[in-house]
Amino acid sequence: MASSTDTLAEQIDTMSTQTIVYTSQKHGSDENGDGSEGKPFKTPLQNKWELLSKAQSKKVKTLYEVEKRKEKAAAERKEKERPQRQKNIEEARKVIITEDTSLPTAKAHKIKALQNQHGERVKVFGWVHRIRRRGKNFMFVVLRDENIFFIVQCQTYDAITLSSEATICVYGVVRPIPEGQTAPGNQELVADYFEVIGHSPPDGADTLLNEEFHPDIQLDNRHMMLRGENISKILRLRSIVTQCFRDHYFDRGYYETFPPTLVQTQVKGGSTLFCLDYFGEPAYLTQSSQFYLETACPALGDVFCITQSYRAQLGRTRRHLAEYTHVEAECAFISFDDLLDRIEDLIVDVVDRVLKHPEAHLVFEVNPGFKARKRPLRRMNYSDGIEWLTENGIKNEETGRFYEFGECIPVMPERKMIDQINEPILFCRFPAELKSFYMQRDPKDSRLVESVDVLMPGVGKIAGGSMRMTDFEDLSESFRENGLKTESYYWYLDQRKYGTFPHGGYGLGLDRFMKWLTKRHHIRDVCFYPRFVGRCKP
C-alpha cells in the first residue's frame, strides 16, 4: 500500500506543468487533493487560500521525494533486520526472570517522595522516556554492568520490546547522584529488577506527534501531548495556583460557593451566549457567576467561586477561549477604593503563596525571567490612559486620529500601553457607555462608572470588576434601557428591594493569569483541554 508521502509526491509529479497550485489548511487534503482550486492540497499549512508558485512547488516536490527515499530506505532496513529480530524475540520469550526474594522487600513510593528514601530499596511506577528530563516527577534509572541479574533480565521479551511511553515498575535502591553528575532531583535509582505493566508500540508516541507538528495536530493528540515535560509542568503549576487562590480567599474570610452553570439570564451580552434546550425551555451556559454571587452576600458575607464560564465569541485569538476557568468574588459593604485594594491584595498574595510553595521551582523552569510584583500596583484612570496614548503618539488606526474621551480603547493600543509601561495596571473609571449596565456611577463624575480592568504586560486584560448598582429603580431602568425584561431578573432585583447594600466584585480569568505567570505565547498552552472556535475535541 502506498504511503501518504508516495501519494502526495505522485500528485505533485502530475502537476509539474501547472503554474498554480492551490492549498488550504481548512478545505485541503494531502491524500485526496490534486492542487486545483476545487480540490486543494492541505500543505503548506495556512488558515486561508494560498497560491503556490513554481519555485515553491518544486521545493515541496523535492522535500517529498527526499522523504520518499528515506521511507524506502527505512523499510528496506527494517525488512532486512526482521528475521534476526524475530529470532531474538522468540529466544527472549524463553528467558523468564523473577524478582530476587533475598533482597529487602521494596516499598512503593511516588518519585517526588524519594528524597527521604535514600539507601532504601523501593519500587516506582512510571512511564519510559528516552531523553533525560528534569523535575520531581522524573527519575534517572541506572543499570550497572556489575549487576549480572539485571544484564540477564535485559535479554527478556519485555526488555527487548520496551519502547518509550511504556508503563513499568522499577525496583532498586535510591541514592544521591555521584559528584559532577546531574539528574532530576539530584538522585538516581540503581535498579535490580523491573516489570512491564503496559507495553507501547515499537516507535512509542514518536510517530503520533512531536513538538514540530502543526498545533492542530498536537491538539488532536492532546492526550499524548500532556505527557510532555513542559505541559506537565504547567498543569502541575496550574493546580498549585488554583490552590493558592483558594488559600487566599479562606485566609481572608471568604466562603466558597458553587453557582449554577446552566442559566436563563445573561450578564454580559446575548451575542456571546451558548444557547441550549433545557427540557423544552431555552437556557444558556453561564458567562459569569456574578449575579448569583451577589445573592450570596446577605447570607454569607464575602464569597468567591472558581468555576467554568463560557463565551460564544467567534474571534480566534491567542488570548480567547470559549470555555475558561473563572475566579470570581463579591464583597459586601466596601467602597471602590476597598475593591481596588482587594484586587491588588489578591494578585500579590497569590503570587507570593505560589513562590513559597514546595514546588515553586516550576515557575522558574517554565518562565526563568519571572519577577514577582510588589505593592502598590499602579493605578490609572481611563482619562489618564487617553492622555498617555496621545502623549506617546498612538492613534486610532481606522480614523488616523488620536483617541478621545468616550471612545473604546481597542486591544492593540491597550497592549502597546501596558507593554511599554511594563507593569501591572489597575485601569479605572471608564465612561458608563463602555461598560456593563449594572455598574455603579462614580459619585464624583456621573459620566463614569466605578469600574476597573486589570492589565498585565504580555497578556493585556486578565480581570475586570466594579461596584454594583444599589438603587432598585436605577437598576430596573438600566435593565429596560438595555432591552432586558426585569421579570426574568426578579431574583436579582430583589437584592435591591429587600435591604440593598453597597457591594462590588470582580472576575479574573485563571487561564490568562497562568499565561502571564508562565509567559506562554498562546492561552491554549496553559489549558488541560482547550476549547475555542473550531476546537471541541478530544
**DSSP 8-state class, residue 119:** T
What's the chain's average pLDDT?
Answer: 86
- Grid cell digits, residue 73: 530506505
Q: What is the 3-state secondary structure (H, E, C) of 9-55?
A: HHHHHCCCCCCCEEECCCCCCCCCCCCCCCCCECCCCCCCCEEECHH
pLDDT at 96: 82
pLDDT at residue 145 greater than cutoff 60: no
Average pLDDT, stretch 103-116? 87
Q: How far is CA 199 from the centre of its chain?
A: 29
Q: How many CB atoms lie within 10 A of CB 264?
A: 12
| Range ranked top by mean pLDDT from 80-94, 138-152, 179-193, 450-464 | 450-464
Task: Set out the domains of the chain in order of their start, with CATH numbers.
Answer: 107-198 (2.40.50.140), 219-377+423-526 (3.30.930.10)
pLDDT digits (tens, 9 = 90+) for 157-176: 888 888 888 888 999 999 98
Q: Is the pLDDT assigned to residue 136 strictly greater than 50?
A: yes
- Measured in whole angstroms, how far is the alpha carbon of residue 93 from the centre of its chain? 44
The full DSSP string for 151-214 is HHHTTSHHHHT--TT-EEEEEEEEEEPPTT---GGGEEEEEEEEEEEE---TTTTTTT--TTS-
* Res. 12: pLDDT tops 60: no
Determine the pLDDT at residue 470: 97
- The candidate with the shortest Cα–Cα distance to 172, out of 127, 125, 123, is 123
Integer angstrom CA distances of residue 283 from 271, 401, 409, 437: 14, 43, 32, 21
The C-alpha atoms of residue 196 and residue 71 are separated, in whole angstroms, by 30
- Pairing label, strands 121-127, 107-108: parallel
Question: What cell does 164 get?
Answer: 518509550
Please state the length of the chain: 538
Q: Tell me the HSE value of 283 on the side-chain side, using a 13 A CA sphere.
A: 11
pLDDT at residue 154 greater than cutoff 90 = no
Closest C-alpha to 304, from 344, 331, 337, 343: 331
Q: Who's near 337: CB < 8 A, 6+ residues apart?
A: none
Please tell me the predicted confidence (pLDDT) of residue 4. 44
Write the DSSP symbol of residue 402. B
Round to whole Å and give the CA distance between 50 and 43. Answer: 10
What is the mean predicted confidence (pLDDT) over 91-115?
A: 86
